[in-house]
Amino acid sequence: MVLIVGLGNPEKKYETTFHNLGFLAVGEAAEKLGVKFKKKECEASVAEAFVGGERVILARPVTYMNASGRAVKQLMAKYKASPSELLVIYDDFDLPKGKLRIRAAGSAGTHNGMRSIVGEIGTSAFARIRIGIKDPALNIPVMGYVLSDIAKEDYPLFAAACSDAADAAIRFARGESIERVMNAYNKNEGEA
């Protein structure tokens, strides 16, 4: 079993904000797997797929970003998922925009959704895909920036990043080791 969680905020007004890139990426993974988000459970919108005979749960918490951990904890309990079976996709202000960074574990950094997850499940030893959003040309406080809309000219860049994140998540769901997925997608290791 694999649990793939994309972080974001549930209201329509947040749909095209940087903070919803996790939602967009997990939505892209669902589309590539031919499944839809039909169920609401464990404070999340959920889609279910089978990849190579393995059950894969795709989820978008509806708790709002800062309480994402509540939904993740409930989903892990319901599906009896261990931290090694969890993959979280989210935006990251510390990475250049459009850059992917995949890790097997790590700190929550400055991300409140990840802090919530680590706090609720009691470990940071789970895989994650970070989608960079930092634009050095803009000087906006982090909170205002992550909740701002993605500029139209940047849509192709972020659409490509979300598609790559979805592909990486599907490879993880197929049973590829997180190290192999990291080697395929992490570029320019000298950055963040």
- Is the pTM above the cut of 0.85? yes
CA angle (65 as vertex; 26, 101 as ends), nearest 5: 50
CATH (domain of 153): 3.40.50.1470
Task: Determine how β-strand 39-41 pairs with β-strand 2-6.
Answer: unpaired
Domain count along the chain: 1
77 domain-assigned: yes
In order along its 192 residues, the chain shows pLDDT tens digits of 999 999 999 999 999 999 999 999 999 999 999 999 999 999 999 999 999 889 999 999 999 999 999 999 999 999 999 999 999 999 999 899 999 999 999 998 889 999 999 999 999 999 999 999 998 877 777 777 888 899 999 999 999 999 999 999 999 999 999 999 999 999 754 444
Strands ordered across the beta sheet of 44-51: 39-41, 44-51, 54-61, 2-6, 86-96, 127-134, 100-103
Residues 5, 7, 19, 178: which is the catalytic one? Answer: 19
Rounded CA separation 161/100 (Å): 7
192 domain-assigned: no
122 burial level (CB within 10 Å; 0-12, 13-18, 19+): exposed
Please say if 19 is a catalytic residue. Answer: yes
**Full residue range of the structural domain in which residue 29 is found:** 2-185
